Amino acid sequence: MFNQLEAWLLSLVQAANGFLWDNFLAAALVGVGLWFTWRTGLIQATFFGDVIKLLSIRKTRQGLTPFQAFCLSTGARVGVGNIAGIGLAVTIGGPGAIFWMWVSAFLGAATGFIESTAAQLYKRRQADGSYAGGPAAYMRWGCGSALMATIFALLLAAADGLIFNSVLSNTLAISFESVSGAPRWMGGLVLASYAAWVAFAGDKRLAGFAAKIVPLMLVAYLLLALGAFIVHFDRVPEVFMSIVKSAFSLEAAGGAGIGFIMMTGIRRGLYSNEAGQGTVPNAAAAAHCRHPVEQGFVQAAGVYVDTFIICTATAFIVLLNPAWAETHEKGVKFVEVLLGSSLGGWTAPVLFGIVCAFALTSVIGNYFYSDMALRTVTQKPWVHTVFRLAVVGMVFLGSVMSLELVWNLADLFMALMTILNLGALLYLAPRILKLLAHWRTVKARGIPEGDEAYFKKDDLPEDMRKGVEAW
């Protein structure tokens, strides 16, 4: 009975994804990214020096530091999607999918800048001195639509708190089964217990934990990728050529064509870097900074860390091994088998540990996003308690669901959120561009020292100040 229901639901979700992605979303993401890249003057290629300065700030009187917000969002982005998702992208779309993932990340960085800056502009100060906000906030206060904000908040709460966490649980359970031989539900039970702790911990505690774990897990995973890179160093030029050639091959991916490869790369890229999706701005809004564009820079840089470093590392772990095309495993096990073939069986428990770390920080980020969204809809304690219990239950349920179903559900909710968010960003773009122009003017004169804000809402034209509160 369960299998029949699962199969029916999978077919329904796949049909909806086909309609949304094939007919609209992939083109919209690329088009919006190109427009924002042009209108910001290629901001994603010029902000690196400013990002380094901002990430060096480790203390703030209120809210999260830029570094804490960066780690919180990076911990959510740099998750199992960077392992299982890339494995799926290569399996389905071939090496060319990686090229289009790079393209989506470069363009997505501009979109990420716009949405995180908007979140900073329309954030709200909480009773404890912290900040809260995100797409639901800028839809309500910037776009002036409470209905749009409510729909997005509910979608985000369901997507990040329930669906995306089920993806994490599914991946962890599969890895746990592979390493220990124990049934998948046991891995799900462990992660569900951890999710319960996350759901009842405070924002500062979660951000502090993420700030400690994220750098460590990035280094550990990159060392594994470096090992595979060294072992197969002679194949590096060949792999680069295959990625580029396959991206434009009419016969790639089993004859599916360039369009299929593009959509595969863009879809998996969006799940990985989340640019335009409307999740990362929730972390951006929680940060204390002196100008809204500062956190826009920081969060946009996270797209590069995620895609150009972590996702690329996974892609090379897979593609550098000549046996990748003959390996019939899926998801994280696909990567695990190929990594073990390159470096030895000792990598299986190491990769499992890294997957666990990815999952832990991703659960933190996902819950933080969903809770932040719910705050814009209701402050009733019982609603948040019920939601927390639902998060824990869905984490466990995800461990025993099929791989295809959880990933397709993630794609569907991601698509719906992205459509709403892109509409809001296009509406708010003129205000964000005014902010960027103001920052450039101040920078030309010399940015003031200290911790005081050097932007006030009065710096905006009078017709753009409505809804701005924290500045």
Provide the CATH number for the domain around residue 96.
Answer: 1.20.1740.10
Please tell me the predicted confidence (pLDDT) of residue 202: 55
Residue pair 410/159 in contact (Cβ under 8 Å)? The answer is yes
Assigned domain for 106 exists: yes
Residue 312: pLDDT band (50, 70, 90) is confident
Assigned domain for 69 exists: yes
Residue 255: pLDDT band (50, 70, 90) is very low
Mean pLDDT of the chain: 79
Assigned domain for 466 exists: no
Residue pair 272/307 in contact (Cβ under 8 Å)? The answer is yes
Residue 254: pLDDT band (50, 70, 90) is very low
How far apart CA 115 and CA 119 sit, in angstroms, is 6
Which residues form the domain of 107?
16-442
Residue pair 152/421 in contact (Cβ under 8 Å)? The answer is yes
Cβ-count burial of 345 within 10 angstroms (0-12 exposed, 13-18 middle, 19+ buried)? Answer: exposed
83 DSSP assignment: T
What's the number of domains the chain is made of?
1
Residues counted in the chain? 471
Assigned domain for 450 exists: no
Please tell me the predicted confidence (pLDDT) of residue 113: 92
| 3-state SS, residue 1 | coil
Q: pLDDT tens digit string along 158-193? A: 887 787 777 777 777 776 776 677 777 777 777 777
Assigned domain for 313 exists: yes
Percentage above 90 pLDDT, the chain? 12
Residue 251: pLDDT band (50, 70, 90) is low
How far apart CA 143 and CA 152 sit, in angstroms, is 13
How far apart CA 361 and CA 78 sit, in angstroms, is 8
Assigned domain for 471 exists: no
Residue 368: pLDDT band (50, 70, 90) is confident
Of the ranges 171-185, 198-212, 279-293, which one carries the lowest mean pLDDT score?
198-212
Assigned domain for 11 exists: no
For residue 131, the surrounding DSSP H or E stretch is strand 131-132
For residue 124, the surrounding DSSP H or E stretch is strand 124-125
* In the predicted structure, residue 108 carries a pLDDT above the cut 90: no
Give the mean model confidence (pLDDT) for residues 128-134. Answer: 79
* In the predicted structure, residue 211 carries a pLDDT above the cut 70: no
**Which of 112-121, 124-133, 200-209 is the most confident on average?**
112-121
Place of tokens 């920081």: 298
Phi, psi for residue 130 in degrees, rounded to 5: -80, 175
Residue 341: pLDDT band (50, 70, 90) is confident
Assigned domain for 187 exists: yes
Please tell me the predicted confidence (pLDDT) of residue 285: 85
How far apart CA 273 and CA 264 sit, in angstroms, is 14
CA distances, 25 to each of 36, 78, 185, 364 (Å):
16, 23, 35, 28
Give the mean model confidence (pLDDT) for residues 71-98. Answer: 70
Here the tokens at position 382 are 């019982």
Please tell me the predicted confidence (pLDDT) of residue 434: 92
